[in-house]
Homo-oligomer: A and B are copies of this chain.
Amino acid sequence: MKKNRLEAFSDGVLAIIITIMVLDLKPPTDTVGLAGLKEVLPVFLSYVLSFIYVGIYWNNHHHMFHTAEYVTGGILWANLHSLFWLSLFPFTTAWVGENHLAPVPTGVYGFVLLMAAIAYYILQRVIIASQGSGSLLAAAVGKDCKGRISPVLYLIAIPLAFVSVWISIGLYVFVALMWLVPDRRIERVLPKPEEE
């Protein structure tokens, strides 16, 4: 099985996830003064954070499948499983945005981040297993510090939402910033374009 349709389908799903989140940004009821802007601010900020997260996942997905040549049935399902948790982002984003400081939505937001991270980790393992020894992806990922620390930080952030939602949100933002640093690991092990 070639990987192009899996990539096209994943691109489609991620493009829709990242875009339909904006449907929860509803025109504010107050339009006379600038109060309308303040009204949409929490939803806007949760949209920004989720947009960055989906961007990171698309970016990493792009890099990861760059190392794969063929896909197996196992990869197809591990990929769908990963997309499933990402598809819940619009729901948790809307919930957090509409109820600014409530602990339950903040915790659920973190839980979906956690499950998406675990699903991505499983997908990575399934691809590495399919590549056998000498896997390009295994070499690229190495010790995978970021991939190991992120779920731990989500696990800490979830119960802390019931202490202070700001700590949880701060941790979510911190993990996003950690990933925003471009992941050069895969670019490093790949042959240069000229050599391809």
| Cβ 8 A contact of A22, one of B34, B58, B59, B88 | B88
- How far, in whole Å, are A59 and B1 apart by their CA atoms in the complex? 11
A22:B77 contact, CB within 8 angstroms? no
A104:B13 contact, CB within 8 angstroms? no
User: Which residues of the other chain, B, contact A63 by a CB distance below 8 angstroms?
Assistant: 1
| Cβ 8 A contact of A51, one of B7, B28, B73, B87 | B87
B8:A99 contact, CB within 8 angstroms? no
Confirm or deny: A110 has a beta carbon within 8 angstroms of a beta carbon on chain B: no
- How far, in whole Å, are A59 and B17 apart by their CA atoms in the complex? 20
Chain B, Cβ-Cβ closest to A35? B104
User: Which residues of the other chain, B, contact A26 by a CB distance below 8 angstroms?
Assistant: 94
Task: State which size class the interface on A falls in.
Answer: 35 or more
Instruction: Say whether, besides A16-B20, A90-B22, A32 and B104 are in contact (CB < 8 Å).
Output: yes
- How far, in whole Å, are A13 and B8 apart by their CA atoms in the complex? 12
Chain B, Cβ-Cβ closest to A14? B9
Smallest Cβ distance from A61 to chain B, in angstroms? 9
Smallest Cβ distance from A91 to chain B, in angstroms? 4
The contact string, 1 if C-beta is below 8 Å from chain B, for chain A 55-78, is 100110011001001100110110
User: Which residues of the other chain, B, contact A66 by a CB distance below 8 angstroms?
Assistant: 1
Confirm or deny: A15 has a beta carbon within 8 angstroms of a beta carbon on chain B: yes
| Cβ 8 A contact of A55, one of B33, B80, B88, B99 | B80
Confirm or deny: A136 has a beta carbon within 8 angstroms of a beta carbon on chain B: no
- How far, in whole Å, are A80 and B87 apart by their CA atoms in the complex? 18
Task: List 9 A-B pairs, Cβ < 8 Å.
Answer: A8-B11, A9-B14, A11-B12, A20-B23, A25-B88, A27-B91, A27-B94, A31-B102, A37-B108
